[in-house]
Structure 1
Amino acid sequence: MEGKFFLLIWVILLLGQLHGYKSCIDKERKALLELKKYIISITEEEYSDYVLPTWIYDTESDCCCWEGVKCNRTSKRVTEIAFGALYLRESSRLNLSLLHPFEDVRNLNLSNYPWPISGTYYQLPISGTYYQFNGLFDDVEGFKSLGRLRNLEILDLSCNSFNNSIFPFLKFATSLRTLFMRDNNFNVPLPAEELRDLTNLEILVLSGNGFTGSIPVQGN
């Protein structure tokens, strides 16, 4: 009888582990939905129904399988976030503080590229003009906001409408190893000083811009 009791306890614990594996932790699920809510608020009204359609208010839904989201298999924490192409209002800005709950995020894709699905690219079934983020802001952390994402290694900001105001934010993302900033059409001198603190950076892609000047090289 005692053996059956311990077997029952073991089965309950195993089922609990399996259930927990299915989805990200509750704190990050709620944060993803807050992020979606914010994106909807800066989206052209007629396109709001097409924003992140797989991110749904259903506790049975596996948020680690939502489009653009990946999780660590063991910890169930979110490690990758991507929005894909959006129909944002012009001059829309991303509030970085909404990303702070994702303490283990390693790959953040804010580019204006559609997602590949089954060999094809996901496009909204409507016509219009894509706008992506014009800038970043955080009323609390300010320029240091990206520094809160201590495990962030890959950041893709391609195909946006950023200007030089983004660089004071980037200089605090010292954990970055890869930074994509192609096709933003900066057409300004490269603010080299803002990149000097990115000492872990191994890959920097700046094609499709009009930068002038040189890129700083770290000494040994």
Structure 2
Amino acid sequence: MKSCSAMETTSFIKFSLMSLIWIIVLMNEIHGYKACLETERTALLEIKSFFISVSDIGYDDKILPSWVGEDDGMSSDCCDDWEGVKCNATTRRVMQLSLNETIKFNYSSGSGSALLLNMSLFHPFEELQRLDLPGNWFTGIYENRAYDSFGSLKQLKMLNLGDNFFNDSILPYLNTLTSLTTLILSDNSIEGSRTKQGLANLRYLQVLDLSGNFNITSGSLTRLGRLLR
């Protein structure tokens, strides 16, 4: 009898736990609440770690301070609470990332070395439509499968790489972003000698900002204008 009673108690506990789980799930559906995807949350924290690793020592707490994980002793929804992150209201996937001037240097110490942008950091964001990375001292692209890294961002429509140190070598990589409608390359080191060939596949491009690239020639600007027709 005791054995039977124990089994009944165990079954009741399991049933109660399952019922509670279903109630929580149902309430979340009713109220439309969904947290950001764990894979994308992890990827965002990796991006934060990257920016901290390439910044000067002493700026850790100033770089994306709202991006916190369980290791920080607190947790928050990356879609609703993290600066510079905007998500799709239905899928809760990241749609927009604004990482303006995120890298921090101590200018008085003379630091601020050139950096390579690793686009593979953004691979997990399958619905990313806008990416802003201006003012981060990037000079080029990390070469490990760089073409694939750019090409995987199939929904990216706006890319802002202004106020960096990119030159014409970045153009073939940008050419794989065939869904782009807006490309901002202002205040870089673009000359334009390879721009027509480098951006020939961007048939949806409507806005191309090359202002502040002082080495670009008038002939290059004329050729670039034809890309937007």
TM-score scaled by length of structure 2? 0.76
Q: What is the CA–CA distance in structure 1 between the aligned matches of 2:228 and 2:85, rounded to whole Å?
A: 37
> CA 1:188 to 1:33, structure 2 compared with 1: closer, same or farther past 3 Å?
same
Q: Percent of aligned pairs with the same residue? A: 41
Structure 2 alignment gaps of length 5 or more: 1-19, 106-111
1:186 positional shift: 2.9
Query: C-alpha deviations, 1:138-168, integer Å up to 9, x for none?
Result: 41x2223211000000000111111122112
Kept after mapping to 2: 8 A contact 1:192/1:216: no
From the superposition, tell whether residues 44 and 216 of structure 1 become closer, same or farther in structure 2 (CA, over 3 Å).
same
The answer as to whether partners of 1:137 and 1:143 remain within 8 angstroms in 2 is no
Contact kept? 2:161, 2:185, Cα under 8 Å: yes
Residue equivalent to 1:69: 85
CA distance in 1: counterparts of 2:143 and 2:33, whole angstroms: 32
Aligned partner of 1:136: which letter? I
Residue 189 of structure 1 pairs with residue 193 of structure 2: yes
Task: Specify the alignment match of 1:173 in structure 2.
Answer: 177
> Is 1:103 aligned with 2:142?
no
The alignment partner of 1:46 has SS state of coil
CA 1:217–1:72: 2 relative to 1, 3 Å: same
5+ unaligned residues in a row in structure 1: which ranges? Answer: 1-7, 113-130
Q: CA deviation at 1:17?
A: 3.0
Structure 1 ranges of 4+ moved more than 4 A:
8-11
- Work out which of the residue numbers 24, 34, 59 in structure 2 matches 1:47: 59
Which one has the bigger helix percentage?
2
CA RMSD of aligned residues (A): 2.7
Supply the AA of the counterpart residue of 2:40: E
Say which structure, 1 or 2, has more relative contact order (CA 8 Å, 6+ apart).
Answer: 1
Q: Secondary structure at the match of 2:59?
A: helix
Question: Structure 1 residues 176 and 45 mapped into 2: Cα distance closer, same or farther (>3 Å)?
Answer: same
Which structure: larger Rg?
A: 2
Count matched residues. Answer: 196
